[in-house]
């Protein structure tokens, strides 16, 4: 990957900037992509300096000795922000596919080196599909070492083409020593594990699962409060098996995002619409498992909630690392428009990781994270489902996927 001090992307048929006022996009604002026709962008040392019409940007003094990226007739958009993944996973039991996918059959045990190699491979797949920032959750362990093992692997992905945001995942899989002692287990997680993870800077977020057979509302509240006290930002899983009230709890506790949201009711939609918490949807999950219960994207957007999209990648129930496919599913299964889906996968995804000041849109002062598509209209991206229309991907002005001839 060659580092380019100054980069000029020119001749863009549609430069999708997502520029705009502060805050995540909601309602009608999700349809405003800030498109510049026949656009250009100048990047210096990985940071965007200028965005605008080609005839103006190309005549700037700083553009004269810049490395040229000819994007004539192409669409250029911000790098995707995949804000919910279980990146590190073992080899799936392929002999059980597809019969036991919906039953969450599980995966084969694996060594740390094998898990790391698999994660690197998946990250390259994600980058080739336009993702420049990826969230990665840990997995529940049987002790302190087990709980932090996946986080150490995530933090060791130094050669990753995409930026990785680590999250401590808490699903209440209590080890044997806490059998019959849920209070003791909760105390260990909140008084020992969370401060340890924060102190060692192993994670930026703590994600709590509040569901039947998992953490109760009270336990989730204690966990979220302890995470914030330790200096971690918070997220919450609220899937179809979640306890009623989990969404309202996430909003009350000012979680950065609440994810899944399949089957939520009107009260929960209203709570999200009136909050700063991002509603992250994962259409690939219901697609792969064959579930008829889907997140109500249309109702959330129409109510004014800030909606993000993520692959939800894991090795069992949602083994897709393609954000373009996620956009296609959002349009066909969740009735989102192409513009809404792109907004949800870029700037709103960045807000779901609390990093929208740096990424998620193509504006001066932000990182030069972008993808070039071999289409002339942004709507072709979700329309051609399962087709690789992305030809080149850059992060901080450096190409992270090879140009396809």
Three-class DSSP category at 79: coil
Phi, psi of 124 (to 5 degrees): -65, -40
CA distance 259 to 309: 9
**What does each C-alpha distance from 49 to 45, 126, 203, 215 come to in angstroms?**
10, 27, 31, 47
CA distance 338 to 326: 11
**Cβ–Cβ < 8 Å for 327, 381:** yes
| pLDDT at residue 146 in the model | 80
CA distance 338 to 378: 8
CA distance 372 to 231: 37
CB neighbour list of residue 315: distance below 8 Å, 6 or more residues apart: 86, 89, 90, 91, 92, 107
Three-class DSSP category at 116: helix
User: What's the predicted TM-score (pTM) here?
Assistant: 0.94
| pLDDT at residue 177 in the model | 80
10-residue mean pLDDT profile of the chain (405 residues): values are: 77 98 94 98 98 97 96 99 93 61 53 91 96 93 81 90 96 76 91 97 96 88 98 94 93 98 96 98 94 95 99 91 98 99 99 98 98 99 97 97 57
| pLDDT at residue 1 in the model | 42
Beta-sheet pairing, 80-82 with 131-137: parallel
CA distance 186 to 193: 10
**Cβ–Cβ < 8 Å for 253, 222:** no
| pLDDT at residue 401 in the model | 80
| pLDDT at residue 102 in the model | 47
Three-class DSSP category at 371: strand
CA distance 20 to 76: 17
| pLDDT at residue 375 in the model | 98
Tally the C-alpha atoms within 13 A of residue 240's C-alpha that lie toward its C-beta.
14
| pLDDT at residue 75 in the model | 99
CATH value of 6-78+359-401 in 2.60.40.2310, 3.90.1300.10, 2.30.40.10, 3.30.750.200: 2.30.40.10
Domain limits of the chain?
6-78+359-401, 80-352
| pLDDT at residue 353 in the model | 99
Query: Token match 């129930």: residue?
Result: 317
**Cβ–Cβ < 8 Å for 159, 128:** no
**Cβ–Cβ < 8 Å for 220, 247:** no
Number of H helices, E strands in the chain: 14, 16
- DSSP lists the bridge partners of residue 68 as 8
| pLDDT at residue 2 in the model | 47
Instruction: Supply the CATH classification number for the domain 80-352.
Output: 3.20.20.140
Three-class DSSP category at 41: strand
State both tokens at 75.
Answer: 């669409």
Sign of torsion, CA 106 112 113 116?
A: positive
The sheet carrying 205-209 orders its strands as: 80-82, 131-137, 163-170, 205-209, 233-238, 257-260, 278-281, 307-309
97, 100, 101, 102 alpha-carbon torsion, rounded to 10°:
160
**Cβ–Cβ < 8 Å for 48, 375:** no
A 10 A CB-CB count for 289 gives 17
Closest CA to 11 of 69, 94, 82, 93: 69
């Amino acid at each position: 990957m060659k580092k380019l001090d100054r980069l000029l992307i020119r001749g863009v048929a549609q430069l999708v900037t997502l520029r705009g006022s502060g805050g995540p996009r909601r309602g009608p604002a999700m349809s405003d992509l800030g498109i510049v026709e026949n656009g250009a962008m100048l990047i210096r040392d990985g940071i965007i300096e200028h965005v605008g019409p080609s005839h103006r940007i190309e005549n700037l003094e700083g553009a004269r000795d810049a490395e040229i990226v000819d994007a004539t007739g192409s669409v250029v958009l911000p790098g995707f922000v995949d804000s919910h993944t279980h990146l590190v996973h073992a080899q799936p039991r392929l002999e059980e596919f597809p019969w036991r996918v919906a039953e969450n059959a599980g995966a084969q045990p694996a060594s740390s080196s094998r898990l790391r190699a698999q994660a690197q491979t998946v990250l390259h797949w994600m980058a080739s599909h336009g993702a420049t920032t990826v969230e990665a959750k840990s997995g529940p362990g049987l002790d302190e070492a087990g709980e932090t093992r996946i986080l150490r692997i995530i933090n060791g992905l130094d050669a990753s083409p995409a930026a990785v945001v680590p999250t401590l995942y808490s699903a209440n899989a209590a080890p044997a020593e806490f059998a019959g002692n849920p209070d003791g287990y909760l105390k260990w997680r909140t008084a020992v594990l969370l401060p340890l993870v924060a102190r060692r800077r192993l994670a930026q977020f703590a994600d709590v699962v509040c569901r039947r057979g998992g953490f109760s509302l009270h336990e989730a509240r204690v966990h979220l409060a302890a995470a914030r006290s330790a200096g971690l930002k918070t997220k919450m899983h609220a899937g179809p098996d979640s306890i009623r009230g989990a969404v309202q709890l996430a909003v009350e506790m000012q979680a950065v995002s609440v994810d899944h949201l399949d089957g939520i009711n009107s009260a929960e939609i209203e709570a999200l619409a009136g909050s700063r918490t991002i509603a992250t949807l994962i259409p690939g999950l219901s697609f792969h498992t064959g579930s008829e219960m889907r997140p109500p994207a249309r109702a959330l957007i129409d109510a004014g909630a800030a909606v993000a999209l993520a692959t939800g990648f894991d090795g069992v129930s949602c083994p897709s690392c393609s954000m373009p496919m996620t956009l296609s599913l959002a349009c066909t299964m969740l009735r989102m428009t192409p513009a809404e889906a792109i907004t949800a996968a870029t700037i709103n995804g960045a807000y779901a990781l609390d990093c929208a000041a740096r990424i998620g849109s193509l504006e001066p002062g932000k990182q030069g994270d972008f993808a070039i598509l071999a289409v002339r209209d942004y709507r072709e991206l979700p329309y051609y489902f399962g087709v690789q229309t992305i030809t080149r991907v850059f992060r901080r002005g450096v190409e992270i996927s090879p140009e396809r001839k």
